[in-house]
Chain A
């Protein structure tokens, strides 16, 4: 029962997320909603890794690879947006697929440290390889997204693209985890040795998830690049991943809707309270601390425990 309700609730939230800004029809709210969507997609990629019990700090780096790939392919190589958008996911996924078997030999703390270093290396490459990536100045004049010849210049049309993409990603994750993959992944988090003894190739599955999470992070990067039409390396640093992690913790890191809920709550704050950005950092930190102490399941956990069930995982 609670399962079905939480599914209905999720769909309703997504529809509300898309419709409310469109009905208000003010650029500022549409802008907020697009940012929420981009942050939420990155947060989902962090969520996927948390699902197998690993924290990857390279996700913003993958987002950056997607952003730069998409920007350069459309602007300089004349690749149509649809293809560039797909490649923005595929290239980081491929890179994750190659380094995955190496990084994934380690687990827990070692994995966190290695992905941290890997993410920093990605940003360093953006900064230093100036001829291709433009260094600290970044890349500007990125063409807007266009689907089948229709240019998505108006923010509302871009919001529709973001919302559809977010919904597809959430739905794919939901369907994938409802099946065999979900069982395997849950087993990997709880007891990998047991899982391996049943003939599951644990490393392959973990690499698959790592690759998938890089794919999603890359897509969020492409959205980011074509929405802002300007990207620079510092947007894809360590703290971007940390923010995505915070969205998970605050929303509820064990629920698929957790990252999205966290983004709904937190992503608008820096835009609304512009003058208070520094205070906000402190507030974020304090909120994170208090949540870790008092509400380790996040807000969604709180709501669902009130309803008396574990809900839509």
Chain B
């Protein structure tokens, strides 16, 4: 039971990290609260559906393609829609709501509101003695962690990552040192959306796909990011572990709703003590 709970905790922590890192990256660089983040998760999920079910592609090939697709959509959205609202937090927020509505509506037109599902590519369980671990959950947890590690490497050990961090710290100074925000910002937005798209793509076989799936993902990303501090990458990772674990433990012992309620109360308590979040800049 304990080990199983731990696996569930790891799965939900990893999933929350994927959701929250993209969200917080976009906020950290552009001060955009992207209400359409959940819709990029949805785009990733629908992309996997289209690639595997009608096109007959292998699921494991479809995952990175779905991530890339969501990322491309993100780059386009940044260039076409968000660019004029740099520095206008409320304006950008309302714009992202508009984008979310458009994406939802578009998906409803193309795919109707019905639930779609993707056949499970991985089945079976691993068992050691009395412990049973479903393979598909281990796959989600493992690949999510791999993506998070790759993202961490990108941010901390590449020139692009350095540029990202510089722009996040001070856009003007970064510009003075020759980093072009007009290139970095769409790229960052795209990377954030790749992470969201991957989160959607990885969890498609576990959950069904529908046009409203973005809302739950958005709520998860929100809670994690608010707890960790808006715009903080390490904060998002640590908060994802804290919330993923509490979520898993309470879901297993009580119910999923109870888990959401408790995480919300936890976040409110921490915000009362430290309004900028655990790792946030005041």
Q: Which residues of A contact B (CB under 8 A)?
A: 55, 102-103, 105-106, 108-110, 112-114, 116-118, 120-121, 124-125, 127-128, 237-238, 242, 245, 249, 278-286, 288-289, 292-293, 296
Contacts and interface: CB of A to CB of B under 8 A. Distances in A.
A103 B101 CA distance: 27
Contacts of B102: 281-282, 285-286, 289
A282 B109 contact: yes
A292 B222 contact: no
Nearest to B226: A113
7 contacts: A55-B93, A118-B264, A245-B97, A282-B109, A285-B99, A286-B98, A292-B98
B97 A114 contact: no
Interface string B90-113: 110111011111101110110000
B278 to A, nearest CB: 13
A288 B94 contact: yes
A242 B93 contact: no
Contact of A124 (B100, B261, B267, B268): B261
B84 interface: yes
B267 A288 contact: no
A127 B219 contact: no
Contact of B257 (A105, A117, A127, A292): A127
Interface in B255-278: 255, 257, 260-261, 264, 267-268, 271-272, 275
B271 A245 contact: no
Main secondary structure of the interface of B (DSSP, over half): helix
B33 A112 contact: yes
Contact of A289 (B90, B99, B222, B223): B99
B255 A128 contact: yes
A285 B101 contact: yes
B164 interface: no
Contacts of B101: 242, 281-282, 284-285, 288
A236 to B, nearest CB: 13
A293 B81 CA distance: 9
Contact of B260 (A103, A121, A249, A296): A121
Nearest to B107: A278
B89 interface: yes
Nearest to A277: B108
B230 interface: yes
Contact of A117 (B105, B109, B222): B222
Given A110-B230, A113-B33, A278-B109, A105 B219 contact: no
B136 interface: no
Contact of A102 (B33, B230, B255, B272): B272
